[in-house]
Amino acid sequence: MGIFAFLFLSLFIFYFVISDAAGRITQSQALSDGTNLVSKNEGFVLGFFSTGNSTNRYLGIWYNNIPVRTVVCVANRRNPIRDSSGVLMLNSSGSLVLLSQNKTIAWSASSTKEVGSPVVDLLDSGNLVLREENEENPGSYLWQSFDYPTDTWLPGMKLGWDLRTGFERRLTAWKSPDDPSPGELSCGIVLTNYPEIVAKNGSKKLGRTGPWNGVGFSGALGLKANQIYDYNFVSNNDEVYIMYHMIKNSAITRAVLNQTSYLYERDIWVEADKKWTTFISTPKDKCDSYNLCGPYGNCIISESPICQCLEGFKPKSTERWNPDNWAKGCVRTTELSCEDKDKIGFVKFVGLKLPDTTYSWVNKSMNLNECRVKCLNNCSCMAYSNSDIRDGGNGCVIWYGDLIDIIQVAASEQDLYIRMPASEKDQNIDGQNEDLELPLFSLATIAMATNKFSSNNKLGEGGFGLVYKGILADGQEIAVKRLSQNSRQGLSEFKNEVMSIAKLQHRNLVRLLGYCIEGEEKILIYEYMPNGSLDSFIFDQMRSNILGWSMRFNIICGIARGLLYLHEDSRLRIIHRDLKASNILLDSKMNPKISDFGMARSFGGDQTEGNTNRVVGTYGYMAPEYAIDGLFSIKSDVFSFGILLLEIICGKKNRGSFHPEYSLNLVGHAWKSWKEGRMLELIDTCLKDSCILSELERCLHISFLCLQQHHEDRPNMSFVVMMLHSESLLQEPKEPGKTSSSSSKNQSSSINEITITLLDGQ
Ligand SMILES: *[C@@H]1O[C@H](CO)[C@@H](O)[C@H](O)[C@H]1NC(C)=O
Ligand SMILES: *[C@@H]1O[C@H](CO)[C@@H](O)[C@H](O)[C@H]1NC(C)=O
Ligand SMILES: *[C@@H]1O[C@H](CO)[C@@H](O)[C@H](O)[C@H]1NC(C)=O
Ligand SMILES: *[C@@H]1O[C@H](CO)[C@@H](O)[C@H](O)[C@H]1NC(C)=O
Ligand SMILES: *[C@@H]1O[C@H](CO)[C@@H](O)[C@H](O)[C@H]1NC(C)=O
Ligand SMILES: *[C@@H]1O[C@H](CO)[C@@H](O)[C@H](O)[C@H]1NC(C)=O
Ligand SMILES: *[C@@H]1O[C@H](CO)[C@@H](O)[C@H](O)[C@H]1NC(C)=O
Ligand SMILES: *[C@@H]1O[C@H](CO)[C@@H](O)[C@H](O)[C@H]1NC(C)=O
Ligand SMILES: *[C@@H]1O[C@H](CO)[C@@H](O)[C@H](O)[C@H]1NC(C)=O
Ligand SMILES: *[C@@H]1O[C@H](CO)[C@@H](O)[C@H](O)[C@H]1NC(C)=O
């Protein structure tokens, strides 16, 4: 196609205007609105376009073969032409200028060099270049559009810095889908000693990829080589940039910043569907928000709350469960002393996105050991790592000051060594933390979480108060135990007790998350157990079918371990005093967790060691010596465990179980059947198909050992756990103690003081 139009621009100069598919702009050939310049491979088009309903005209580049017009670059994005009078041409001094009818310059591009016979070509890559006619070398281009990215990152386009000139190339989103002028969202390399890509909202950091470790960015696993495209990160004295190129040339892909959705998206054109498909989208979750968890916080998306403290650190704010407080981050559980180098060590952390590198230092030729020494010798050095993970790790990077914006990422191969007091390495072995601080919640937070203690949120009630389900602002589900107000405990006494209970941490105990004291209110906040309590399964005809033998055995072993921990492994030596099916809660994987531990000790009223004049517990589970004489010990808990075991095996409650032939309770009936060798009659019918009989018989046997009349005959929990897991011969049990329901003389007088803990859930 040839020239088809003239455009009158000034009295003295006539320009030829090129038409579609014509190759280039020269000093005698201009491009006017309405005509396009197409790249040689016909992949890209340079032309004028409008957005939305606007009549504003922009000069831009878009894909030629993609039916949905997808603009990758806009020249006059800040300065639209109000009508279709725009003309792009080379003026006599060799600058590329965009003129509108009134001769004002809407946009221009000039070379710093002297220009001979300039031409402007749209290359196959989508790069518009101004160059000398015979100059093919990209390094000698006079000007190129790839140096001025709009919102789209194309293959072959550098993002980053020319250190010689201080020139930066970064992406800036369109203000809106109809307005290509620069929005607040931008993305580029931040020049620290250990550079990384940072997305910003205005001047505020929104998110970072983490630094380049030779293979990828430590926190952006998507920005890694793959089957379709490959990255090239360059950092030397002249330049710092990242670029990517296509492996399969046929694929069309772009990365684009979107102000509307606040996303960085990697899209691939799917010809079959005739649409763009998102391949990667960042931020992918809340953890990608910059510095969400504050210094030494670790964002773990699968955790609840997602902000956790790195090991060896504790929340700075005790009310950190409020997301507003997350950014305060964490502080050391043990202070660092700087002077004494013997008291300093480094703890290796794996699988982390490396901290913000604003205050970092790199030496590419140091090894890890030199790196450690370098870090050790400066008190403000908080961590070190290899700067490059290739070939087993090379180079040294160290961080000064607080470590921020850390995320748990699955596949990072770059270990981070964090400065710690030497003693820290030996602590926290069983999760017992000396300096544990339990978060204090405000009453307002709890009221909001429980919908003002709405009766719809009620999970149950017991002697210690009502229990509600709650949802915190960050979405975490909690169980809220509002202690009844008649507890005469003082505030500091209450707090001390809560703190001591909080130190009890075991996977088979319901975790205490925090507490609240305000006015008359005393509230405990626990983790929420979605599957409710054990009794709602084993005593329910329908739901009992869900619990096959292997699940029940797992539950039995879990309860035993939890109780063992309370009795022997925790420092407090807790006697539960109210172990029963409704106090065993089940997590989402049906793991058992004992609840209400420590409650009797803390809130159960007056007690002397081993004897109480106020019996706390539930008849049917109480050991005879406890029910009758108020004597409690770890062995009275063992008795309750025996009852629980029997109930799990038989699927029947101890109280209220009547056999047609014997007017006995469950224990009496079970003992009789066992003695007469009719064990199979006992087993919950729904277990008959799933059970391993030998295992089940062993459990039954252990149950009777736990139920013996004299507490000194009963095994301790460590022995119970051992018996559950071994195949050794078991001792013959003596006749079970008569449980309280049939024998307690004091029953009627003390019945009002019985603690029936919960109806359902917690
Ligand atoms: C564009 O015009 C259409 C039809 O006139 C109208 O429905 C739509 O709201 C307009 N959009 C904008 C962004 O003004
Ligand atoms: C010329 O046009 C530009 C863009 O269309 C506009 O911003 C400017 O105000 C106009 N100037 C005059 C003198 O009309
Ligand atoms: C060509 O355009 C450039 C950029 O706008 C300007 O600096 C230069 O003076 C123009 N040359 C002439 C001869 O108008
Ligand atoms: C970006 O900044 C603006 C203005 O400061 C603010 O209104 C907006 O919420 C911010 N967006 C994000 C995603 O941070
Ligand atoms: C940005 O996202 C909005 C909606 O999420 C979409 O309509 C628009 O096309 C996107 N812009 C780009 C440049 O992809
Ligand atoms: C980097 O480390 C090497 C090897 O330890 C050393 O020779 C060099 O001086 C260091 N460079 C700087 C700038 O510290
Ligand atoms: C430790 O490093 C910081 C940050 O580079 C520096 O300001 C300080 O002088 C160093 N201190 C020592 C003792 O080298
Ligand atoms: C236990 O809870 C999880 C998560 O709420 C749920 O997916 C699962 O179905 C529950 N299991 C039973 C047996 O109810
Ligand atoms: C538990 O019982 C076993 C066997 O009777 C005994 O050897 C062990 O010392 C007991 N453990 C404790 C802590 O009392
Ligand atoms: C139980 O009753 C006996 C006799 O009736 C009495 O001596 C004992 O103190 C009572 N125990 C409790 C805990 O009330």
Cβ of residue 363 lying under 6 Å from some atom of ligand 6 = yes
Q: Is the distance from CB of 25 to CB of 34 less than 8 angstroms?
A: no
Q: Indicate the number of domains in the chain.
A: 4
Q: Identify whether residues 550 and 523 lie together within a single domain.
A: no
Q: What dihedral do alpha carbons 604, 605, 606, 610 form, nearest 10°? A: 0
CATH (domain of 120):
2.90.10.10
- Atom 8 of ligand 8, residue of closest alpha carbon: 588
Domain membership of residue 251 (yes or no) is: no
Catalytic pick from 151, 356, 535, 578?
A: 578
User: Which ligand 2 atom minimizes the distance to the CA of 102?
Assistant: 1
User: What's the pLDDT at 323?
Assistant: 64
User: Mean pLDDT in each 10-residue stretch from start to end of the chain (762 residues)?
Assistant: 35 43 79 92 94 93 93 96 93 92 89 87 94 89 95 96 95 95 95 94 93 84 66 92 83 90 87 82 87 92 84 79 72 82 82 93 93 91 93 92 89 83 49 56 91 91 80 88 71 73 85 86 90 93 88 94 87 81 92 82 46 59 75 87 94 64 71 83 78 83 94 92 82 79 35 26 26
Q: Identify whether residues 403 and 543 lie together within a single domain.
A: no
Q: Identify whether residues 383 and 521 lie together within a single domain.
A: no
3-class SS shares of the chain: helix, strand, coil, % to 5 = 20, 30, 45
Residue 588 CA to ligand 8 centre (angstroms): 5
Distances from the Cα of 203 to the Cαs of 187, 281, 357, in angstroms?
Answer: 11, 22, 17
Q: Is the distance from CB of 99 to CB of 17 less than 8 angstroms?
A: no
Q: Give the residue from 561, 624, 572, 621 showing the smallest Cα distance to 594.
A: 561
Instruction: Please give the backbone phi and psi of residue 531, each rounded to the nearest 5 degrees, phi first.
Output: -95, 15
Cβ of residue 722 lying under 6 Å from some atom of ligand 9 = no
Distances from the Cα of 286 to the Cαs of 225, 279, 408, 484, in angstroms?
Answer: 25, 19, 12, 38
Instruction: Please give the backbone phi and psi of residue 717, each rounded to the nearest 5 degrees, phi first.
Output: -70, -30
Residue 460 CA to ligand 3 centre (angstroms): 81
Residue 279 CA to ligand 5 centre (angstroms): 15
Last residue of a domain, one of 148, 173, 193: 148
Task: State the Cα–Cα distance between residues 274 and 296, nearest whole angstrom.
Answer: 46
Domain membership of residue 612 (yes or no) is: yes
DSSP letter (8 states) at residue 356: P
Domain membership of residue 185 (yes or no) is: no
Q: Identify whether residues 389 and 509 lie together within a single domain.
A: no
Q: Identify whether residues 423 and 560 lie together within a single domain.
A: no
User: Which ligand 7 atom minimizes the distance to the CA of 400?
Assistant: 4
- Atom 10 of ligand 9, residue of closest alpha carbon: 716
730: tokens are 């078991």
User: What number of helices (H) and strands (E) belong to the chain?
Assistant: 13, 46
550: tokens are 């292997």
Domain membership of residue 625 (yes or no) is: yes
Q: Identify whether residues 588 and 689 lie together within a single domain.
A: yes
Domain membership of residue 121 (yes or no) is: yes
Last residue of a domain, one of 148, 166, 186: 148
Last residue of a domain, one of 431, 453, 470: 431
Residue 383 CA to ligand 7 centre (angstroms): 14
C-beta atoms surrounding 683 within 10 Å: 19
Cβ of residue 78 lying under 6 Å from some atom of ligand 10 = no
CATH (domain of 723):
1.10.510.10
Cβ of residue 104 lying under 6 Å from some atom of ligand 2 = yes
3 state SS of 127:
coil
- Atom 13 of ligand 5, residue of closest alpha carbon: 258
Q: Is the distance from CB of 629 to CB of 608 less than 8 angstroms?
A: no
Q: Identify whether residues 504 and 575 lie together within a single domain.
A: no
Q: Is the distance from CB of 219 to CB of 296 less than 8 angstroms?
A: no
Q: Identify whether residues 424 and 461 lie together within a single domain.
A: no
Q: Identify whether residues 511 and 603 lie together within a single domain.
A: no
Cα 207 off chain centre by: 15
pTM for this entry: 0.57
Q: Identify whether residues 605 and 713 lie together within a single domain.
A: yes
Q: Identify whether residues 455 and 549 lie together within a single domain.
A: no
Flag whether 653 is marked binding: no
Residue 346 CA to ligand 7 centre (angstroms): 18
- Atom 13 of ligand 4, residue of closest alpha carbon: 262
Domain membership of residue 557 (yes or no) is: yes
User: What's the pLDDT at 147?
Assistant: 95
Task: State the Cα–Cα distance between residues 696 and 550, nearest whole angstrom.
Answer: 10
Cβ of residue 746 lying under 6 Å from some atom of ligand 10 = yes
User: What's the pLDDT at 739?
Assistant: 55
Domain residues for the domain of 32 are: 1-148
Domain membership of residue 616 (yes or no) is: yes
CATH (domain of 497):
3.30.200.20
Task: State the Cα–Cα distance between residues 329 and 336, nearest whole angstrom.
Answer: 17
Q: Identify whether residues 557 and 687 lie together within a single domain.
A: yes
* Ligand nearest, relative to CA of residue 58: 2
Q: Give the residue from 588, 572, 656 showing the smallest Cα distance to 620.
A: 656
Cβ of residue 568 lying under 6 Å from some atom of ligand 9 = yes
User: What's the pLDDT at 149?
Assistant: 96
Domain membership of residue 196 (yes or no) is: no
Q: Has 689 been annotated as catalytic?
A: no
Contacts of 463 (CB under 8 A, 6+ apart): 484, 616, 754, 755, 756, 757
- Atom 12 of ligand 8, residue of closest alpha carbon: 531
